Structure formats: structure tokens, C-alpha cells
Structure 1
Amino acid sequence: MSKKTLLVGASLKPTRYSNMAINKLVAHKNEVVAIGLRTGVVAGITIDTELMPYEFIDTVTLYLNPSRQEAYFDYILGLNPKRVIFNPGTENPKFYELLNQNNINVEVACTLVLLSTKQY
């Protein structure tokens, strides 16, 4: 069984990188849950619009710009993931510091590239 990934900033639009990431995570047989502004389904994954109490999250991959991330700090810390991936455009040193203080690994990378190069 794969490690569960939470994608934050999910989009229903196929041209968005978050949408592509859901599709690629599913294609690589990863267990995925997703949060976005609008509910819907991408690659069989229901996008939730509320902060759900997911359990056993290994990785959080962010598709939110830094100005919108602060509302998620406590939520993500509370999930206690092993790592948080900051995709291009989501870099946030303030959040890195909080994650490091809570022994959560910070990875500034692209989920799509990590999957393509088998480094995910």
C-alpha cells in the first residue's frame, strides 16, 4: 500500500498543475485525498472543500500561494505528516520554520517531477 498524500489547492481544471498532480499520483498508485475551493472529482478522487480530519497522512503537497497558506498552518501541523512538498510558486520560509520546529520534513520540489523521476 502506498503512503497517503494530501493535496492542498486542488483544482477541477485539467490545465492546472494540481489537477495534473492528482492524475499522476493516482496513475502511480498513490492513495490521495484532496482539498480545494470547489467540490468535484478528479481521477476518481473527491475534492473536499472543508478541512477534513484525515488520518495517516504521509505527505502534504501544496498548490497554494504563500499568502493563502497561513490559514492552513495549524491544520497541516495537526495532521503530523512526515513531509510537506512546496511546489513551484508555493515557497514559504515562514512555514518551513514551523514545519522544521515540529520535525516535519520540508521539500521544495515539484510533485510532477518527483513522480516522473521515481523520487516520490
Structure 2
Amino acid sequence: MNKKTLVLGASLNTSRYSNLAIHKLVKHGVETCAIGLKSGEVSGVKINTDMPPFEGVHTITLYLNPKNQMAYYKYIVSLKPKRVVFNPGTENPELYKILRENKIHFESACTLVLLSTDQY
């Protein structure tokens, strides 16, 4: 079961939750791609600074506050993910509405907890 995941808001900073999530996703054998402000690599995953047309993305896990998510609304929908995970602090009713309109499942949860409890 490989749920290819895009970490949106990825960081090279090892104290950031997005960084921890990339490590944990890779450790759990989840194919992972990432987009952040600075390019680099975390746990073998390249952090892109643009919006590549990734194929087969199952889950997008958000690590951006609602204001910073706005620039990605159309991009998120264009990837046609099966679900979007709103990590703590990323909850966004405006984006919920867009996802509902596009029949994309979403949940407010913590990717790290989901992985730790085998609920991912």
C-alpha cells in the first residue's frame, strides 16, 4: 500500500514538522515528493520550489498556514489527490469548500500521528 504523498510546505529545518514528516513517510516506505520555499533534499526527497505536475499523488499533507495556501489552490485541485491532510495550524474553511466542490476528501489530522498509529 503506497499512498504517494506530497508534502506541501516542506522545510530543510530539522526542527520543523514538515521535515519530520518527510523522514517518517520515507521510513514507512511511502513514495514522497515535496514543495517548499528553499530547494534541497530531506531523507533523499528533493524539495522543489516550483509546482511540478506530479503524477499519481494520493495524499497532499499541508504544512502551510491558510494565507500561504491560497497560491496553491488550483495546483492542489489539478493534482487530483484522493485526500488532503490539514495538519494542526493549517485548517482552512475556504480550501475545504474548494475541495468539496472538486470531490476531494480532506481531514484535519496530524500526519505524524497517523503514521505512528498505522492510520495513514
State the TM bucket, normalised to the shorter chain: over 0.9
Helix, strand or coil for the counterpart of 1:107? Answer: strand
1:113 maps to amino acid: V
Cα RMSD over matched residues?
A: 0.6
1:97 deviates by: 0.8
1:86 counterpart residue number: 86
1:7 counterpart residue number: 7
Corresponding position: 1:108 with 2:108:
yes
2:67 counterpart residue number: 67
1:95 counterpart residue number: 95
Regions of 4+ moved over 6 Å? none
| Structure 2: segments with no counterpart, 5+ residues | none
Q: Distance in 2 between matches of 1:111 and 1:39?
A: 22
Could you report, residue by residue, the CA deviation over 1:76-119 in whole angstroms, capped at 9, with x for unpaired residues? Answer: 00000000000000000110011011110011000000000000
Q: Percent identity?
A: 60
2:93 maps to amino acid: P
2:22 counterpart residue number: 22
Superposition TM-score, scaled by structure 1 size: 0.98
2:16 maps to amino acid: R
